[in-house]
A and B are shown apart, each in its own frame.
Chain A
């Protein structure tokens, strides 16, 4: 299996007053295609910074991020936008659905950014909603849905543009434990059934247990990088 994400010697320094804080301190790892990877750490450990850099939302101070052969750290803003639009899906902690759009429109949004035709958009978005079993709620506005439902809409939105990589930032952070379980199962299913790569940031070890690979970050350094179980096909 080829490596889809490759991080080499990544540094990020913040200046807080007069002192420089090392949010990331020489991080290197790889993620293989079709892998469910969890980045675990306490708050302030640098795990979110790491995810932001993988997605190109923040620039590293030093080091390389290579995703699918592209150097993320060298792209300019508009290249990043189109790269994200074509290769990356996002799942946020607090869902971030647009409040003015209903579930279906929210799911179809990334497609409309890519300029796809309206009818096609709708068809694809409906298919995604069916996958997350929310086809009945497709006309609901975000504020008419529960947190778990909103997160499922958000997952559908992340998947609609058929990305190879999905980034999830504490996807269960705003959910109760039962819905969290549902969401985690759903994500695991997507990875195993559709062969997508999922990188999830979490502080919860229990959730990390769903992943194939767990990377543990403390104070900007990787302290553990273990593959939990072998893929069956290997």
Chain B
């Protein structure tokens, strides 16, 4: 029998019992959409994690930090006598490793920002232009990356940096009041104080509670040598603000970026003759000969090589953190979450499958005579089986497609109404990729066909005699 004839027959027998077909399809609709919606929640979480990771250099990013003696983990096998610093030479060395696409130094240091009645503790991250570009920062309209050739320091503000600002006097900020400080970042330059210790000593109230980065040795040396005077304030413009506004947080929301070269220039000027905070010193309190970066960002040429590179760098004596490790562990977690969610959804599809089997069984009983007649007038057994399997598969297909449409609707509704709570997830909670649509439809068809298998076999095994007996 031709396939198109089989299809026509199956559909005509389905449409003969419209209500029953509808109810059976409805079961599959509910089953499919519960699976799809459940999985889409898991996928939404996974996707927002991935996009966070992407902002941090993606899966092929590696962060290398220096190793100080005090940070040495207790592995007695390999004691480093000297601390490992990330210097220009090291960065160059790293860049020449195999499979390394780029290596960019990062210098981060704490600073104070003043504006009107507000003050804020920030952590400035100085990066090379290439390094900044590789971050793929999404900025508000008109935002630019800092100009490396500019003589003045330009900052890129995360959209949540202002939330960390507090009002002088009251000491209250966004987290207490719920109102963002009234600062127009695009317009007015801010005042940046690089010498935090100096700023604290100058009598102005600054909450140093969370500050730990300032090198103690250098700070103390500063106190003893220099008289207490207000440190220099630099007027710095903001060249760009990370996109997202007040609602959407992302990995860069709380960061402040600037150009590394300009920052270094500023630091040399500010701390002339003194140790720069955060920079290591020799035992005598003298500045270390070379400029030391807080970390180096390495981009591997491929995710597969991340492990090899990080092993190699670890062998060189540095601390290495990769996104891959993070991703791998998260992946496992998400796979479990998805399996659980999908499993819950699968239960309802199982119930729907039983419904299909039941419907098909009924249909076989009803059409016993018809099937017998068809056998007698020359319908092959495989055609009869196919006819019933197609019917069952069609129920699955109709249910799968309708279920997916329903899931898209539900997913849209979830995203609209719950997106407020999904701030940390970067927007959408429920995410339905195209493959999920196809997969779930295919799964529904498969379930239908499987459920139709035994009824179809029964139909195939019916004796054609049934047709001729009891007229």
Contacts and interface: CB of A to CB of B under 8 A. Distances in A.
Interface residues of B, number: 26
A107 B467 CA distance: 17
B375 interface: yes
A57 B465 contact: yes
A112 B5 contact: yes
Nearest to A109: B377
Interface in A171-224: 173-174
21 contacts: A52-B468, A57-B468, A78-B380, A82-B378, A84-B376, A85-B379, A85-B380, A90-B376, A92-B468, A94-B471, A96-B369, A98-B370, A109-B374, A110-B377, A113-B374, A113-B377, A115-B2, A157-B377, A158-B377, A169-B468, A174-B471
A113 B379 contact: yes
A20 interface: no
Interface in A91-143: 92-94, 96, 98-101, 109-110, 112-115, 118
Given A100-B16, A169-B468, A112 B2 contact: yes
Contacts of B379: 81, 85, 113
A174 B470 CA distance: 12
B236 interface: no
B337 interface: no
B380 A57 contact: no
Contacts of B1: 112-115
Interface of A: 48, 52, 55, 57-58, 77-78, 81-82, 84-86, 89-90, 92-94, 96, 98-101, 109-110, 112-115, 118, 157-158, 161, 169-170, 173-174
A84 B5 CA distance: 20
A82 B373 contact: no
A115 B3 CA distance: 9
B383 interface: yes
B13 interface: yes
B377 A58 contact: no
Nearest to A55: B376
B4 to A, nearest CB: 8
Given A98-B370, A112-B2, A113-B380, A173 B465 contact: no
B468 A78 contact: no
A84 B464 CA distance: 12
Contacts of B380: 78, 81-82, 85, 113
Interface string B215-248: 0000000000000000000000000000000000
Nearest to A48: B468
